[in-house]
Copies of this chain bind each other. A is one copy, B any other.
Amino acid sequence: MSDPFFHPVSGFDLPRFAGVPTFMRLPHVGPEHPRFAEVDVGIVGVPWDSGTTNRPGPRHGPRQLRDASTMIRAQHQVTGQRPFETVNCADLGDVGPNPADIKDSMARITAFYDTLVAADIRPLTAGGDHLTSLPVLRALARSGPLGMIHFDSHTDLFHSYFGGTMYTHGTPFRRAVEEGLLDPKRVIQIGIRGTMYDAEDRDFAKAEGIRIVEIEEFFDRGSPDVMQEARDIVGDAPTYVSYDIDFVDPTFAPGTGTPEVGGPNSYEALRVCRGLAGVNIVGADLVEVSPPFDQAGATAFLGVSIMFELLCSMLAQPA
């Protein structure tokens, strides 16, 4: 049972458009706050897009996600979970990046997550572009390589861009495997699609044992069957969940930098999260929400709906 200090304000008491917008109307409890140590699950913004090779904007993601998140209520419709009453949840604020220095930013991010690990806080991250996952994993995987369930339209397994640039949003999981942060045998990537430069990333996946479920297979088999396989692949060991909003069809999530048409709809976007129940999740992220390309804010609302699903999955009992 959580402490009432960590309960969000209800929309029945304060209209949902009112108040300083924190994630899901939770208290803002930064590392300097006296009750920081009591937090169980911390929601963190990483407003950063220096790894973006195409259309920019995810640096504005956490701000807009906070705004949209005031629409989230207290109870999960299907499972009946009331996560904010289960454990102490809080908005931990943003990690301040350096927009003009990639390596400095990565160091700042890893340092922040090291603090969370030290305080035994599980992070739910709002990116930021997908390079964000790399410095987060550097902190979370200090005890050994993690498994990963990865929703995306891209593998993000490329070697480099533009003649040797190693750190972009297209390369984080190549680096994570090379650095021993992920156990490739316990990694599954779901929803992959779109025109391809070439098959270099698929070749790497095949060589390392990463399982790729392309969108055609996803639609043919259906979400429950694919998620069963995902749970089997990661097993009981510690696992990271990385959810790129471009997994979803861009009509449902237009606010992203590298959209690929032909993806899942919003119902499927939520349903895959429900298939995570029972996984041993040490951290999760939602990345690549880019408000400048989301004129009506719809992507952010879908994004926080996914974040609420991820939060509930993190708190679900083992299967």
Contact = CB atoms under 8 A, between A and B. Distances in A.
Interface of A: 10-22, 28, 45, 47, 49-57, 59-60, 62-63, 66-67, 71-78, 80, 91, 93-94, 96-102, 104, 161-163, 165, 167-168, 193-199, 214-216, 219, 249-252, 254, 258-259, 261-263, 265-267, 269-271, 292-293, 295-296, 298, 301-302, 305, 308
B295 A20 contact: no
Given A49-B56, A74-B196, A20 B20 contact: yes
Contacts of A198: 74-75
Nearest to A96: B14
Contacts of A259: 298, 301
Given A162-B13, A162-B98, A21 B63 contact: yes
Given A21-B63, A54-B71, A100-B161, 15 more contacts: A15-B96, A73-B195, A74-B195, A74-B197, A77-B193, A78-B216, A98-B163, A100-B162, A101-B162, A195-B305, A251-B251, A251-B265, A251-B266, A261-B269, A262-B266
Given A14-B96, A216-B78, A266-B261, A296 B295 contact: yes
Nearest to A58: B56
Given A77-B214, A262-B305, A270-B261, A93 B15 contact: no
Contacts of A250: 266, 298, 301
Nearest to A270: B262
Contact of A18 (B78, B96, B270): B96
17 contacts: A16-B54, A17-B55, A18-B63, A19-B96, A52-B100, A71-B258, A74-B197, A75-B198, A77-B214, A99-B162, A100-B162, A100-B165, A100-B168, A262-B271, A263-B266, A263-B267, A292-B293
Q: Which of A17, A66, A162, A249 has the most CB of B within 10 A?
A: A17
Q: Which of A52, A57, A94, A100 has the most CB of B within 10 A?
A: A100
A296 B298 contact: no
A308 B195 contact: yes
B56 A167 contact: no
Contacts of A14: 94, 96
A166 B305 CA distance: 29
Contact of A55 (B60, B78, B199): B60
